[in-house]
Structure 1
């Protein structure tokens, strides 16, 4: 379903997109980042926090780093400011990139079992499918942030994978 090469490309895309979102978010003041814009996680910063929370949670399930201490319901409040979020986003994207660089095909087979707070039960799925889910989840919420940035008057970044610079 998914190869280590694909995971590396998606990790590079994730980091590239997050650098662009970080720069675009930096054009807004703190209050504008906290305005409830009607997205599921409310604000631009809330959605960015939830996305970071989700990435950290998945990476912990893959055995890379610790899961956030906050529950899903509090994920939008993970970091109170853009600079705090930005620093942690940079660190986490580095962790995702290093993990992807070390992946082997065998790491993407088998099954992953975890307790899902969202579902309220144990879940078991193919590892490759769950890795793909993590990257799909990123794209979903970055799309929401992209729309909210535009609504806030900030030119949203380019998000087309085929336009990603070769060096990521």
Structure 2
């Protein structure tokens, strides 16, 4: 099996789960979106913005950028679900594109993570695993918070199993993907120009 395939599939799965969760949140009124809730962060808006901010931090580093702690200078850059959906989809596309352009040797490449007072060096594969774990962890918190609202939380643990493809066909079309692209050996850059 291609060493990159699991990483590419996780990037697609991450984008799909964010899409599904934020689509559900679009049904919330502003009061429910910002209401104080039990969690690591005090609201759905704060939790979902945190996912976005940290995604910007790590994806920028993996792209060779030096954004560093500036990424979280504004802990809630998106005040509304539509703004958050657009910003999250953009960083998710960047991660998919990064992995589409990466080769197997790139997984062992050292990434400079700018931490303000120091630069941490980390292997690409380890940084990706950390990022995916971070996203799953905080999406789970948002999912639990959503269960305390008027909107039912969506199913997020379908990991692109073939038998569930029919359930996702509409979402894949909405996102511009096919099941074959998710599981292909090279993936597909979603920038539209590759």
* TM > 0.5 fold call: yes
CA displacement 1:84-105 (0-9 Å, x = unmatched): 1111112112111111211111
Distance in 2 of aligned mates of 1:111 and 1:68: 16
Distance in 2 of aligned mates of 1:67 and 1:16: 25
| CA drift at 1:64 | 6.1
Q: How does 1:122-161 map to 2 (within 5 A)?
A: 122-161=119-158
Q: How does 1:34-73 map to 2 (within 5 A)?
A: 34-63=34-63, 67=67, 70=70, 72=72
The answer as to 2:115 corresponding to 1:112 is: no
How many residues matched?
A: 164
Q: In the alignment, which residue of structure 2 is the partner of 1:29?
A: 29
TM-score when normalising by structure 2: 0.74
- Name which of structure 1's ranges 4-13 and 87-96 shifts more when overlaid on structure 2: 87-96
Greater C-alpha radius of gyration: 2
Contact persistence 2:57–2:69 (CA under 8 A): no
Q: Which runs of 5+ in 1 are unaligned?
A: none
1:68–1:110 CA distance, 2 compared to 1 (3 A): closer
| CA drift at 1:54 | 0.7
- Name which of structure 1's ranges 22-31 and 91-100 shifts more when overlaid on structure 2: 91-100
TM-score when normalising by structure 1: 0.85
Q: Please, what is the CA RMSD of the aligned residues?
A: 2.5
Q: Which runs of 5+ in 2 are unaligned?
A: 166-177, 183-194
Contact persistence 2:54–2:71 (CA under 8 A): no
